[in-house]
């Protein structure tokens, strides 16, 4: 089956797309002795037993992104890989919260990644837009600073905000003010929820934060009322199958709920989340649906159409992209 049809990707963390070869290149650029790291040794860092292990590895990768030029390079390489898979539009999470934690000025970093996106658009035929991502563990005040930065660049590629990280340490109620600020400024709203916490985290994202999309959302299947709510309102759920197995959000050997969610009539969008760190790609995620979860060609093509429908685009822009889908 040819899976190279036009698609969008809407749940994709820039820092989680850094391939081991690129991380080695950056380490050498910043003074690491040649041979100190092999690609195989870096790849072993991209193995996790649980969600906390993944968060620690993600933090380790970000510590080796030291200059705006580093961020520009990983953006360029990401967009080239996406374009090769016929991704025409991507909304990419940029962890402004991690930059602030590293005491790294956010503005030159964002300007470097946005410039790489603008350069790639005519060359590769892919449009990149950016979601400023805050980190739950850093608290609500830090999230508000991330919102202020996103507002600064609204109209310059920034389209929305998100929060990731540990749902238990940072329940959605903590971020009411940050999301109210973002909404008032016209930013679009997505929330990681129901990944490592239960349905109550998704309810909080919807009721307390006004989330327009839910990131992950696998816990929704534990609450029939929530499933009905998501179906009735057609609130998109950003599904990341391989990621969920790698972090333990879905136990090894357990059936991923993606098929159940699809058959229940939810609006699903398929994504790769942190493809380098989870050894996957967007086309591999679609292939996994077909090979392991019983999706037909017609169903995965419908999911690709959903990816454009759920994007933070105008209706006219969505119609333009949907016109590419046959």
Alpha carbon of 180 to those of 186, 187, 188, 232, 255: distances in Å?
A: 10, 10, 11, 24, 37
- For residues 183 and 180, what is the distance between their CA atoms, to the nearest angstrom? 5
Give the strands of the sheet with 158-164, arranged side by side.
7-13, 87-94, 127-135, 158-164, 188-193, 213-216, 237-239, 268-270
Element (H, E) at 159: strand 158-164
The token duo for 27 is 């380490």
The token duo for 277 is 């760190």
Alpha carbon of 318 to those of 22, 127, 321: distances in Å?
A: 33, 13, 5
Beta bridge partners of 161: 132, 189
Q: Which of 19, 114, 195, 285 is catalytic?
A: 195
Tell which residue, 14, 11, 42, 13, has the closest CA to residue 26: 42
142 noted as active-site residue: no
Angle, vertex CA 186, rays to CA 227 and CA 240, nearest 5: 40
Beta bridge partners of 90: 9, 128
Alpha-helical runs (H) found in 47-86? 51-62, 68-84
Active site residues: 195
């Amino acid at each position: 089956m040819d899976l190279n049809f036009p698609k969008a990707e809407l749940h994709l963390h820039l820092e989680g797309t850094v391939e081991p070869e690129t991380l080695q290149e950056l380490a050498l650029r910043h003074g690491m002795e040649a041979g100190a790291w092999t690609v195989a040794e870096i790849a072993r860092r991209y193995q996790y037993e649980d969600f906390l292990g993944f968060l620690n590895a993600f933090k380790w990768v970000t510590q080796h992104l030291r200059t705006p030029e580093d961020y520009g390079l990983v953006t360029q390489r990401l967009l080239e890989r996406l374009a090769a898979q016929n991704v025409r539009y991507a909304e990419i999470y940029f962890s402004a919260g991690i930059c602030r934690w590293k005491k790294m000025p956010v503005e030159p970093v964002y300007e470097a990644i946005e410039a790489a996106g603008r350069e790639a658009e005519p060359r590769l035929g892919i449009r990149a837009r950016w979601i400023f991502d805050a980190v739950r563990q850093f608290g609500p005040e830090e999230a508000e600073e991330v919102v202020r930065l996103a507002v600064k660049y609204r109209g310059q590629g920034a389209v929305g905000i998100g929060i990731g990280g540990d749902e238990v340490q940072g329940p959605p109620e903590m971020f009411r003010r940050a999301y109210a600020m973002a909404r008032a400024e016209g930013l679009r709203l997505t929330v990681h929820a129901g990944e490592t916490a239960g349905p109550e985290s998704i309810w909080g994202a919807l009721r307390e934060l006004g989330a327009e999309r839910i990131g992950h959302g696998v816990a929704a299947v534990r609450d029939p009322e929530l499933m009905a709510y998501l179906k009735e309102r057609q609130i998109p759920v950003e599904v990341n199958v391989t990621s969920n197995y790698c972090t333990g959000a879905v136990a090894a050997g357990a059936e991923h709920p993606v098929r159940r969610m699809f058959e229940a009539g939810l609006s699903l969008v398929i994504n790769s989340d942190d493809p380098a760190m989870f050894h996957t790609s967007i086309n591999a995620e679609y292939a996994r649906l077909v090979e392991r979860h019983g999706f037909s060609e017609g169903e995965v093509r419908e999911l690709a159409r959903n990816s454009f429908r759920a994007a933070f685009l105008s209706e006219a822009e969505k119609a333009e992209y949907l016109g590419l889908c046959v």
